[in-house]
Amino acid sequence: MFLLLSTVNAEFLTFVNSSIPNNLLWPKPRQYSFGTIDRTISAVKFNSIGQNSDYFNRNALRYTSLIFSEGCSKSTVTTDVNVCISQTDSDLFSDESYNLTIPSTGPILLYSQTGLGAKRGLETLAQLVVPTNPIPSFVMQSKSCDELADSQFVIRNTPWNISDSPAIAHRGISLDTSRNYVTVADLYKIFDAMEAAKLNVFHWHIVDSHSFPLESKVVPLKSYSTYQTYSSDAVKNLTAYALDRGVRIIPEFDMPGHTLSWSGLKDFIVCANKQPWSNYCAEPPCGQIDISNLQNLDIISKFIAEQSQSFTDSYMHFGHDEINMNCYQSELKGDIETMIRTFTTKILSIAKNNNKTAIFWEDVLDHLDVKDGVIQVWKGSDSVSKLVGQGLKVIASPADHWYLDCGRGSMFGDNSWCDPYKTWKTVYNYRPSGVFGGEVALWTEIVNSDVVSVLFPRTFAAAEVLWGTAGDWQEASYRLDKFSGFVGYRGINSGPVWPEFCKSGGCAQLKDTLPQTTAKNNETSYEFAISILVAAILTLF
Examine residue 213 and say whether the peptide bond preceding it is cis (omega within 30 degrees of 0).
no
Three-class secondary structure assignment of 3-32: HHHCCCCHHHHHCCCCCCHHHCCCCCCCEE
Distances, alpha carbon 163 to alpha carbons 108, 118, 195, in Å: 14, 12, 19
No. of helices (H) and no. of strands (E), the chain: 16, 19
d(CA 66, CA 58): 13
Amino acid at 24: L
Region for 150 from its dihedrals, namely left if φ exceeds 0, alpha if ψ lies in -120 to 50, beta otherwise: beta
- Asked whether 526 and 515 are in contact (CB, 8 A), the reply is yes
Catalytic residue numbers read 322
Task: Classify strands 153-158 and 315-317 as parallel, antiparallel or unpaired.
Answer: unpaired
Most distant CA atoms of the chain, gap in Å: 77
Task: Classify strands 357-361 and 374-377 as parallel, antiparallel or unpaired.
Answer: parallel
Contact residues for 477 (Cβ-Cβ < 8 A; gap 6+): 12, 15, 497, 498
Three-class secondary structure assignment of 423-450: CHHHHHCCCCCCCCEEEEEECCCCCCCC
Task: Classify strands 98-102 and 357-361 as parallel, antiparallel or unpaired.
Answer: unpaired
Residue 127, Cα to own-chain centre: how many angstroms? 19
